[in-house]
């Protein structure tokens, strides 16, 4: 099957490609030609007019929870991938807090197998310790062989400095980063950010210093061992500053942030709505400002959704008893474009780096190449598309989002990868006749 | 003489006029409690459920008496052995109770915000009888009423709340209510028991109990929780009693006639010495009596709203 993507702006920040109103010809999902196309080229091709749209390397979400195996009632690998594609992603890295934990080659292979025929590339992050218990490091060599791209005890930080040291040292043999959920568990007995709002709402607080302590510990350990640390969902001003200083010293530390941490503050919790309950918790405006500064100056490398589906019955409860997390695939691009790009906080090129290029670099994954003969791996963005979030229309199996009814500007309207295309709510097999 | 809300979820944001109305209404009900026949037909035909997810005999009895004295039908629903062990969600439990056609719910719950959540899933009037470490508005109202009756006014008074402020719903409701009524509020206790950001609520922080006695007209002394978790916030009961306990010697040394409140139950010899707990400064049992009148007032004002 031949298709033509017409009149589309093509941007690839890594390859310094910036073409206005260009065209791309694909033949059976492979890039056949970029630029001016002749009548012969487009003979018999299905045409997609993408005037005013922007084509970029396929977006990659490096922090997601697909819930399979274990909580298939909330999400499966397939429903998660459908949701990811609908949100504009062609690749994801999924976290190991499954049941059982992703701490054996069998579970890694199982997850990869589920996604084998899907448009979205799925790369498991394996547990850093057996059972994510922080006692014995996981069989990392086997896990890497099975396809794991990083290690994390996600949901919690690696419990002790000694296990952290072994995990970094062992993982560095395979140049795999340790992804840390930075939170000192002895300070983490709370339900929301500690501050004036937790005081007046009477909710137990999670102090920002609980994050900062583990970020400090991990940076020091990365420096000492020479290994790589990636800070998951950074949320505090001090942590952003710590990462900035560490990077200046050449320590191998990277960081990601979620859209909710650069768009919301703990003022949103006054309704006790569990859809605003997440970990790390929503912080203060000073933290949001520091995060946006960190996104601008490159301290924060990536934007990731922390897609965390939960069942309705679990989220419809007393705030303190509700689980943490929100579904994120289908709002991440819209929130980032609306709050960062459209407000001139970061450029579109920077945005693409943070949500396509940098995550793949951190995980040692190949970056999509815009060249003849390459498999097309694209996301097509409509930066002007105005839309309202409607959780009832989410493709994800779960609906727990604090952004219902929010008006956003900007959306990914199509994705192409693995010789498949998802556009206008339809799956198109690009190898069919 | 109606309140501006159909629920009483807390005292944060409740306007001064509403608090005034509740206190004045309580005063008219207070007189009924001294009659030989302590019952009025005000809420006849209304059904009120006391939904207690946490055991609290005193608060429940006080509400139940208030309901009965207003001739409402009162149903007690304690959950410890009931639906939680069957794994039923809070929402399902409430929906079940509501389906039996009830008018008001008085709720006690270990989770902060549970009464707010209740208002989203039921049409009944909701009265917060204590939610986690958030608020306990009727306790603060009865404290304010008791102070007003004893002193004659609230405006311009200086009140210090003493004890574990960080884990107290009574403290928070008192802070919100008293501030609205023009009272200068301070808190006194070990620094580990005082929230970091409490000053942002407009209260002063004191760590010296003698200073608290000297500087204030009223002390509202909280119960120190003696179970394990709360105990981690101070070194020993002995040290607490020595540095924060209120004794007759302390009151005499500071030479001041000060009004002492306590929401009960008292740990004698810890936050109050027995001499003080039974002495002439305290109004502890007076508060208990007023509690029934305050709850009658709240039930009446909300129950006859529609």
Q: Pick from A199, A272, A321: which is nearest to B198 by CB? A: A199
- Region A303-325 average pLDDT: 93
> Is A272 in the B-facing interface, judged by CB distances under 8 Å?
yes
Query: Do residues A162 and A129 make contact, with C-beta atoms less than 8 angstroms apart?
Result: no
Nearest to B23 by CA among B302, B283, B294: B294
Q: Worst-scoring range by mean pLDDT, A214-223, A247-256, A397-406, B254-263?
A: B254-263
Is residue A306 part of the annotated active site? The answer reads: yes
The distance of Cα B161 from the centroid of its chain, to the nearest Å, equals 13
Q: Pick from B110, B112, B117: which is nearest to A201 by CB? A: B112
Q: Worst-scoring range by mean pLDDT, A123-132, B65-74, B84-93?
A: B84-93
CA of A189 vs chain B CAs: smallest distance (Å) = 12
pLDDT of residue B105: 98
Percentage of residues in chain A having pLDDT higher than 70: 100
A43 and A68 assigned to the same domain: no
Q: Is the four-CA dihedral B299, B301, B304, B306 of positive or negative sign?
A: negative
pLDDT of residue B78: 86
Domains of chain B as residue ranges with CATH: 16-134+290-303 (3.40.50.1370), 137-287 (3.40.50.1370)
Going by pLDDT thresholds of 50, 70 and 90, the confidence category of residue B84 is low
CA of B184 vs chain A CAs: smallest distance (Å) = 18
A337 and A195 assigned to the same domain: yes
Residues of A within 8 A of B110 (CB-CB) are 320
A337 and A265 assigned to the same domain: yes
Nearest to A87 by CA among A115, A60, A52: A60
> Is A226 in the B-facing interface, judged by CB distances under 8 Å?
no
Q: Pick from A194, A316, A319: which is nearest to B111 by CB? A: A319
pLDDT at B86 over 60: no
Candidates B117, B121, B133: best to mutate against A (most CBs of A within 10 A) is B117
Query: Do residues B195 and B166 make contact, with C-beta atoms less than 8 angstroms apart?
Result: yes
pLDDT at B81 over 60: no
Going by pLDDT thresholds of 50, 70 and 90, the confidence category of residue B55 is confident
A202 and A132 assigned to the same domain: yes
Digit-coded pLDDT (tens) for B134-159: 999 999 999 999 999 999 999 999 99
Residue A28 belongs to a domain with what CATH number? Answer: 2.30.40.10
A234 and A201 assigned to the same domain: yes
CA of A323 vs chain B CAs: smallest distance (Å) = 14
Average pLDDT, chain A: 97
Q: Is residue A398 part of a domain?
A: no
Residue A90 belongs to a domain with what CATH number? Answer: 3.20.20.140
pLDDT of residue B229: 67
Candidates A192, A200, A314: best to mutate against B (most CBs of B within 10 A) is A200
Query: Are A202 and B117 a contacting pair at CB < 8 A?
Result: no
pLDDT at B82 over 70: no
Digit-coded pLDDT (tens) for A26-51: 999 999 999 999 999 999 999 999 99
pLDDT of residue B83: 47
A104 and A147 assigned to the same domain: yes
Query: Are B197 and A196 a contacting pair at CB < 8 A?
Result: yes
pLDDT at A254 over 80: yes
Q: Is residue A393 part of a domain?
A: no
CA of B265 vs chain A CAs: smallest distance (Å) = 21
Digit-coded pLDDT (tens) for B152-195: 999 999 999 999 999 999 999 999 999 999 999 999 999 999 99
Digit-coded pLDDT (tens) for A274-290: 999 999 999 999 999 99
pLDDT of residue B256: 76
- Region A145-151 average pLDDT: 98
Query: Are B196 and A194 a contacting pair at CB < 8 A?
Result: yes
DSSP assignments along B180-207, one per residue: HTT-EEEEES-GGGS-TTGGGGT-EEE-
Residues of B within 8 A of A199 (CB-CB) are 172, 195-198, 200-201
Q: Is residue A258 part of a domain?
A: yes
A345 and A375 assigned to the same domain: no
A333 and A384 assigned to the same domain: no
Residues of A within 8 A of B116 (CB-CB) are 271-272
Total count of domains within chain A: 2
DSSP B199: G
Going by pLDDT thresholds of 50, 70 and 90, the confidence category of residue B85 is low
Q: Which domain, by its residues, includes A375?
A: 2-55+370-388+407-429
d(CA A104, CA A142): 8
Active-site annotation holder among A306, A404, A424, A429: A306
Q: What 3-state DSSP class applies to A61?
A: strand
Query: Do residues A170 and A142 make contact, with C-beta atoms less than 8 angstroms apart?
Result: no
For residue B242, report the phi and psi dihedrals to the nearest 5 degrees.
-70, -40
pLDDT of residue B228: 64
The ipTM assigned to this model is: 0.92
A107 and A230 assigned to the same domain: yes
pLDDT of residue B226: 79
Digit-coded pLDDT (tens) for A3-20: 999 999 999 999 999 999
- Which pair of tokens denotes residue B193? 């028991």
A279: left (phi over 0), alpha (psi -120 to 50) or beta: beta
Taking CA–CA distances from A205, the nearest residue in chain B reads: B195
Q: Is residue A396 part of a domain?
A: no
DSSP assignments along A245-311, one per residue: HHHHTT--EEEEE-HHHHH--GGGGGG--GGG--SSPP--HHHHHHHHHHHHHTSS-EE---B----
Instruction: Give the pairing of strands B218-221 and B259-261.
Output: parallel
Digit-coded pLDDT (tens) for B106-115: 999 999 999 9
pLDDT of residue A4: 97
Q: Pick from A195, A202, A204: which is nearest to B135 by CB? A: A202
């Amino acid at each position: 099957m031949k298709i033509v993507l017409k009149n589309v702006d093509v941007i690839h920040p890594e390859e310094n490609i910036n073409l206005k109103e260009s065209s791309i010809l694909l033949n059976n999902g492979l890039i056949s030609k970029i630029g001016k196309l002749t009548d012969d080229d487009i003979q018999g091709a299905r045409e997609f007019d993408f005037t005013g749209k922007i084509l970029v390397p396929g977006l990659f979400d490096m922090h997601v929870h697909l819930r399979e195996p274990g909580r298939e009632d909330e999400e499966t690998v397939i429903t998660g991938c459908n949701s990811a594609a609908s949100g504009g992603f062609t690749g994801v890295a999924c976290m190991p807090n499954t049941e059982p934990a992703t701490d054996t080659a069998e579970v890694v292979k199982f997850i990869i197998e589920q996604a084998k025929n899907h448009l979205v590339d799925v790369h498991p992050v394996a547990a850093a310790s057996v059972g994510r218990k922080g006692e014995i490091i996981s069989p990392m060599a086997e896990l890497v062989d099975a396809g794991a791209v990083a290690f994390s005890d996600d949901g919690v930080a690696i419990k002790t400095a000694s296990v952290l040291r072994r995990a970094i040292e062992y993982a560095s043999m395979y140049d795999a980063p340790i992804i840390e959920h930075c939170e000192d568990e002895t300070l983490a007995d709370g339900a929301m950010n500690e501050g004036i709002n937790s005081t007046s709402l009477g909710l137990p607080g999670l102090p920002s210093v609980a994050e900062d302590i583990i970020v400090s510990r991990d940076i020091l350990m990365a420096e000492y061992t020479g290994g790589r640390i990636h800070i998951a969902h950074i949320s505090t001003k001090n942590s952003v500053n710590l990462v900035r200083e560490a990077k200046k010293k050449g320590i191998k530390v990277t960081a990601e942030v979620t859209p909710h941490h650069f768009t919301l503050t703990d003022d949103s919790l006054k309704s006790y709505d569990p859809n605003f309950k997440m970990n790390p918790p929503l912080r203060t405006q000073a933290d949001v400002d520091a995060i946006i500064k960190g996104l601008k100056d490159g301290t924060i490398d990536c934007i990731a959704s922390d897609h965390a589906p939960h069942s309705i019955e679990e989220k419809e409860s007393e705030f303190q008893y509700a689980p943490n997390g929100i579904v994120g695939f289908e709002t991440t691009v819209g929130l980032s474009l609306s709050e960062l790009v459209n407000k001139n906080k970061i450029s579109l090129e920077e945005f693409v780096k943070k949500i396509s290029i940098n995550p793949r670099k951190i995980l040692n994954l190949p970056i999509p190449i815009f060249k003849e003969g390459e498999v097309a791996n694209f996301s097509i963005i409509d930066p002007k598309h105005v839309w309202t979030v409607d959780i009832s229309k989410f493709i994800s199996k779960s609906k727990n989002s604090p952004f219902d009814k929010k008006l956003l500007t900007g959306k990914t309207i199509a994705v192409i990868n693995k010789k498949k295309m998802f556009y206008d709510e339809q799956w198109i097999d690009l190898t069919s006749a | 003489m109606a309140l501006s809300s159909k629920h009483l979820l807390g005292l944060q944001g409740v306007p001064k006029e509403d608090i005034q109305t509740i206190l004045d209404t309580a005063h008219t009900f207070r007189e009924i409690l001294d009659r030989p026949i302590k019952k009025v037909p005000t809420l006849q035909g209304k059904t009120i459920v006391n939904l207690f997810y946490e055991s609290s005999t005193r608060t429940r009895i006080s509400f139940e008496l208030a309901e009965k004295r207003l001739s409402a039908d009162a149903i007690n629903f304690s959950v410890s052995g009931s639906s939680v062990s069957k794994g039923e969600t809070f929402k399902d439990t409430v929906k079940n109770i509501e389906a039996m056609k009830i008018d008001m719910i008085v709720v006690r719950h270990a989770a902060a915000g549970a009464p707010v959540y209740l208002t989203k899933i039921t049409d009944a009037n909701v009265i917060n009888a204590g939610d986690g470490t958030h608020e306990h508005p009727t306790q603060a109202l009865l404290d304010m009423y008791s102070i007003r009756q004893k002193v004659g006014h609230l405006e311009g008074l200086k009140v210090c709340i003493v004890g574990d402020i960080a884990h107290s719903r009574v403290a928070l409701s008192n802070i919100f209510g008293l501030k609205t009524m023009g009272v200068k509020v301070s808190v006194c206790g070990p620094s580990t028991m005082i929230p970091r950001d409490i000053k942002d609520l407009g209260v002063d922080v004191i760590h010296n109990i003698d200073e608290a006695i000297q500087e204030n007209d009223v002390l509202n002394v909280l119960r120190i929780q003696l179970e394990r978790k709360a105990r981690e916030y101070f070194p020993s009961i002995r040290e607490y009693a020595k540095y924060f306990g209120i004794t007759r010697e302390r009151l005499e040394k500071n030479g001041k006639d000060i009004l002492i409140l306590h929401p009960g139950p008292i740990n004698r010899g810890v936050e109050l010495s027995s001499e003080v707990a039974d002495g002439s400064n305290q109004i502890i049992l007076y508060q208990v009596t007023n509690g029934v009148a305050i709850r009658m007032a709240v039930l009446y004002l909300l129950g006859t709203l529609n």
